[in-house]
Amino acid sequence: MDQVIDPIVRLVEAGGPVLVAIALTAMVMFALGIERLLYWQRRYRHERRALIERWQARHEHVSWSARTLRECWCRELLASLRSPLPWLKLLVALCPLLGLLGTVTGMIQVFDSLSLTGIGQARSMSDGVARATLPTLAGMAVAVVGLLFTSRFEYLVRREDQRLHDRLARAVEDRHA
């Protein structure tokens, strides 16, 4: 167990407390991503099927009020799918800022070590540079992965929006045929 924990402890010591904040932000972001994946696979498909059946059960599909009702139902269903997207975007935007905070605190440590030990102490200066570089790298890496996930998720929601409208239109055509 120490073989697993020891490198993590050394990484946290090298990166500072900001690296822990970035790791916690990444965990929350990926937990939201996993939750959306599970929602998509388990609950959303049943809700979509129920919506299609509810639309097919209606007797009238052509009037303005029926189309408005269909649009409201679709928006409501897609809003439940999109609900964590603003939080994901916020966490993606927060990661580079936390990395920048790590850079600033690391550079403060470098300047502190220079003022205490003088210019000749390379070891204390390199520790501060590492403390400045690691959170920046981690913040950017987590933000890029989060941005990829967020953009893919937005694409899937847009595609599902179109598919849902197509399925509802096809369900009415199949019923009348």
61 pLDDT exceeds 90?
no
Burial of 153 (0-12, 13-18, 19+ CB in 10 A): buried
118 pLDDT exceeds 70?
no
- pLDDT-derived band at 115 (thresholds 50, 70, 90) equals confident
pLDDT of residue 122: 66
pTM of the model: 0.80
The mean pLDDT value for 167-174 works out to 79
pLDDT tens-place string over residues 147-166: 999 999 999 999 999 999 88
- pLDDT-derived band at 28 (thresholds 50, 70, 90) equals very high
pLDDT tens-place string over residues 121-136: 666 677 777 778 888 9
65 pLDDT exceeds 70?
yes
Among 8-12, 26-30, 166-170, 171-175, the least confident range: 171-175
Q: Are 164 and 77 in contact (CB under 8 A)?
A: yes
Token reading at 42: 């388990």
pLDDT of residue 114: 74
Instruction: Show the domain range for 31.
Output: 2-176
pLDDT of residue 176: 62
Say how many domains are in the chain. 1
Among 4-8, 100-104, 144-148, 157-161, the least confident range: 4-8
With CA atoms as reference, report the closest residue to 70 among 152, 164, 142.
164
Instruction: Find how far residue 57's CA is from the centre of its chain.
Output: 37
Question: Which has more pLDDT, 92 or 63?
Answer: 92
